[in-house]
Amino acid sequence: EDQVTQSPEALRLQEGESSSLNCSYTVSGLRGLFWYRQDPGKGPEFLFTLYSAGEEKEKERLKATLTKKESFLHITAPKPEDSATYLCAVQAGGNTPLVFGKGTRLSVIA
């Protein structure tokens, strides 16, 4: 069974304090790994797709990396507006649905 585990469940950072969120996965034949950001009461907002180990994607203060067992979302010099829940999802081979982790709730304090 495909599984996604995100850690930590919650993370509190001071503004400017860089850190990383972890997404560990077990899947039979990874087709893609997806990162989303979700603000309270809203739908998830797409951030990145990673397809193969060694791949990296960047967007503003965020950088996502992928290995064969896990993905990291690095946040450099975060700002309060980066506060949100970050969700990781994987898709196995074939027309299989996304499997989501439970997310990391990030709070950035000014």
Could you tell me the two tokens for 1?
């069974």
Q: Which is nearer to another protein, 15 or 51 (CB)?
A: 51
Return d(Cα 50, Cα 64) in angstroms, integer. 8
Q: Shortest distance, CB of residue 91 to another protein, whole angstroms? A: 7
CB-facing half-sphere around the CA of 18: CA atoms within 13 A: 9
Closer residue to another protein, CB minimum distance, 32 or 63: 32
**Cα-based angle 83, 87, 90 (whole degrees, multiple of 5):** 160
> Least separation, in Å, of the C-beta of 110 and another protein?
27
Which spans of this chain sit near another protein (rule: CB under 8 A)? 31-32, 34, 36, 41-46, 49, 51, 87, 89, 91, 95-103
